[in-house]
Amino acid sequence: MTPRPVPRQIPQAWPTVVRLALAARPAAGVRGLLALLRGKRVRGWNILAAAAAAHPGWYAAWIAHAEPALLPASRSGASVPVGVLLIGGDDAATRQSLIDAFGADVPVFVDTLPAERPAWLLPIRSGDRVAPALGAVLADRLADRAAAMVYWDEDRWDSAARTAPWIKPDWDPVLFGAVDGLTSACVVRGDGLDLADLTTGDALARLAGSGAPPCHIPLILTHRAQERRASARVALPVPPASISVIVPTRDRAGLLETCLAGLAATRFPGPHEIIIVDNDSREPETLALFDRVTASGSARVLRYPGAFNFAAMNNAAAAVATGELLCLINNDIEVRDPDWLLHMVPLALDARTGAVGAQMLYPDGTIQHAGVALGIGGAAGHVDKGMTPVPGAFAPWHAETRTVSAVTAACLLVRADRFAAVGGMDADTFAVDFNDVDLCLRLGERGWRTVYCAEAVLVHHESKSRGIGHVGAARTRFDLELAALRARWGTQSAIDPHHSPLFRREAERCLLAF
């Protein structure tokens, strides 16, 4: 994993979380505590964190109990060679925050730049404020940074209170090319810059992409006066491409029929084939369905007898597939938007991309998958699992297309040649679990990023076809695969650059840790 600046250790203020959870949602708080007592750390903290976040005083409690330990004790930033470009006219509150952070002598330029530039420039909108600790943080971070840009997290200043924190990942051109995460929350090296380079988020993003990746400081050091700008993502043209859809299955004809009906309604960007990989189905309804799709030519059935091995089933189908792109998809996926694949194809065909995943919802509309983050629960977890996908403080984690460490193979699009280049899925080590995570990480080792596509939304009736429990032999197999993931990728200590160290590592929901 790429090294990153990590804030001081977040204090263990879990009693505050429990108190807020029980006050806001008593029943959920009790369920969360019981899950923790049963050893279900991820499930328990998911429940407790979501319940605590429903309390109106949740963010204020985090500011009071957790944030002080993350910030430097000294607030002196007078020695930092930073000048300020104030965009949109002068503002007394903005100026005072700059004085508090950098000292009374901080140079401020209103809508203009001097001929002789300071070493670093901070472009800030009139009305926005910076935290008093910013100067001290930058004094510590700028001295040994080779990057030409450093940025940090932010929230909103609303009626004398801080709200709506925006916690950011490390530099991601996919995300920040569409969402302004830099204006008022970054410093750039001053030499060779024009005013036009600094006055809009788009210009700053282009500047950031022209050199070494910007350095991210995972601390909330800007308080904006207005809501963030809405996403400006432009729909990419969809080039023609042939696609092989691979559907592993065993019985459960109703689920498979729903999946196939959705694929029949899907708009493909070129010729396609559907390969059903059958693992010893026995139910008459399923066998009759196989006969119908084979007779109609809408799909072909590839037999894979023996023990269930999800990775090997996909590999077997990939070996006979003819498409330029492989679309791995579970048999319990329901398609509601026929254009879902058209959002993913341009991303998958990008020369920089390895795998692309979709947003997955449970049938009740809550999030099942919005990308995978390493380190959650000492393994890997689905970002924002169980949350309602509505605009809010942490919406960018599920509502924006972005780079992630991995995506689920419940719907994974990958170029066939790149799948083959890394040897497909590791069927020997990860027969059932974590094979998708391992695949994405091996693609990443070759320099091919994994992208979560928020615009492609599917419904996932998760694991209904084989259950969700791990008992007996299944538990033994899961434990072995988990141990292999930890040994190969160091997930017990990994700090995911596409996630945030400010989030609790035991919870999949993107909520600030206490």
Residue 277 sits in a domain whose CATH number is: 3.90.550.60
**DSSP per-residue codes, 371-437:** -EEETGGGSEEETTTT----SSTTTHHHHS-EEESB--TTEEEEEHHHHHHTTSS-TTT-SSSSHHH
**510 belongs to a structural domain:** no
Q: Decide if 169 contacts 228 (C-beta within 8 A).
A: no
| One domain for residues 65 and 87 | no
Q: What's the half-sphere exposure (Cβ side, CA atoms, 13 Å) at 410?
A: 30
The pairing of beta strand 411-415 with beta strand 353-361: antiparallel
pLDDT of residue 24: 94
| One domain for residues 297 and 379 | yes
Q: Decide if 315 contacts 420 (C-beta within 8 A).
A: no
Q: How far is CA 109 from CA 150, 208, 350, 418, in A?
A: 20, 22, 40, 50
pLDDT of residue 75: 64
**2 belongs to a structural domain:** no
Distance of CA 476 to the CA centre of its chain: 30
Instruction: Collect all residues with Cβ–Cβ distance below 8 Å to 443 and sequence separation of at least 6.
Output: 354, 355, 414, 418, 422, 450
Q: Decide if 473 contacts 379 (C-beta within 8 A).
A: no
| One domain for residues 27 and 105 | no
| One domain for residues 101 and 248 | no
First and final CA of the chain: distance in angstroms? 25
Which residue do the tokens 């060679």 mark?
A: 81
Which residue do the tokens 């297309």 mark?
A: 401
Instruction: Collect all residues with Cβ–Cβ distance below 8 Å to 56 and sequence separation of at least 6.
Output: none
| One domain for residues 178 and 295 | no
**502 belongs to a structural domain:** no
How many Cβ atoms from other residues are within 10 Å of residue 15's Cβ?
10
| One domain for residues 370 and 341 | yes
Cα gap 350→215, rounded to integer Å: 25
Q: Which two tokens stand for residue 172?
A: 């991601």
| One domain for residues 301 and 413 | yes
Instruction: Collect all residues with Cβ–Cβ distance below 8 Å to 89 and sequence separation of at least 6.
Output: 110, 111, 126
| One domain for residues 162 and 188 | yes
Angle 346-352-356 from CA coordinates, rounded to 5°: 50
Q: How far is CA 211 from CA 82, 148, 236, 445, in A?
A: 20, 7, 24, 21
**508 belongs to a structural domain:** no
| One domain for residues 306 and 419 | yes
The pairing of beta strand 186-189 with beta strand 149-158: antiparallel
Q: From 200, 235, 228, 233, select the one nearest 395 (Cα to Cα).
A: 228
Q: From 450, 404, 94, 399, select the one nearest 228 (Cα to Cα).
A: 399
Domain end marker among 26, 50, 70: 70
Instruction: Collect all residues with Cβ–Cβ distance below 8 Å to 318 and sequence separation of at least 6.
Output: 244, 246, 326, 416, 419, 420, 424
| One domain for residues 387 and 277 | yes
pLDDT of residue 472: 81
Q: Indicate the burial class of 114 (C-beta count within 10 angstroms; 0-12, 13-18, 19 or more).
A: exposed
Q: Indicate the burial class of 135 (C-beta count within 10 angstroms; 0-12, 13-18, 19 or more).
A: buried
**503 belongs to a structural domain:** no
> Is 0.75 surpassed by the pTM of this model?
yes
Q: From 449, 457, 464, 471, select the one nearest 405 (Cα to Cα).
A: 449
**423 belongs to a structural domain:** yes
What is the full per-residue pLDDT of the chain (514 aa) written as tens digits? 443 544 555 455 678 889 999 999 999 999 999 988 888 888 888 888 888 888 999 999 999 988 998 998 766 655 788 999 999 999 999 999 999 999 999 999 999 988 888 999 999 999 999 999 999 999 888 876 678 899 999 999 988 899 989 999 999 999 998 888 899 999 998 887 888 888 888 888 888 888 788 999 999 999 999 876 656 677 778 899 999 999 999 999 999 999 999 999 999 999 999 999 999 999 999 999 999 999 999 999 999 999 999 999 999 999 999 999 999 999 999 999 999 999 999 999 999 999 999 999 999 999 999 999 999 989 999 999 888 887 665 667 898 999 999 999 999 999 999 999 999 999 999 999 999 999 999 999 999 999 999 999 999 997 533 445 567 888 899 999 999 999 999 999 888 999 999 998 888 888 888 7
pLDDT of residue 232: 66
The pairing of beta strand 353-361 with beta strand 449-460: parallel
Cα gap 123→113, rounded to integer Å: 11
Q: What's the half-sphere exposure (Cβ side, CA atoms, 13 Å) at 3?
A: 1
Residue type, 458: L
| One domain for residues 65 and 99 | no
Which residue do the tokens 């508090």 mark?
A: 100
Residue range(s) defining the domain that contains residue 430: 243-489
| One domain for residues 444 and 358 | yes
Cα gap 409→488, rounded to integer Å: 19
Cα gap 469→491, rounded to integer Å: 22
**18 belongs to a structural domain:** yes
| CATH assignment at residue 94 | 3.90.550.10
Helix (H) / strand (E) containing 15: helix 14-24
**90 belongs to a structural domain:** yes
pLDDT of residue 145: 67
Q: Which two tokens stand for residue 249?
A: 């299955």
Task: Count how many domains the chain has.
Answer: 3
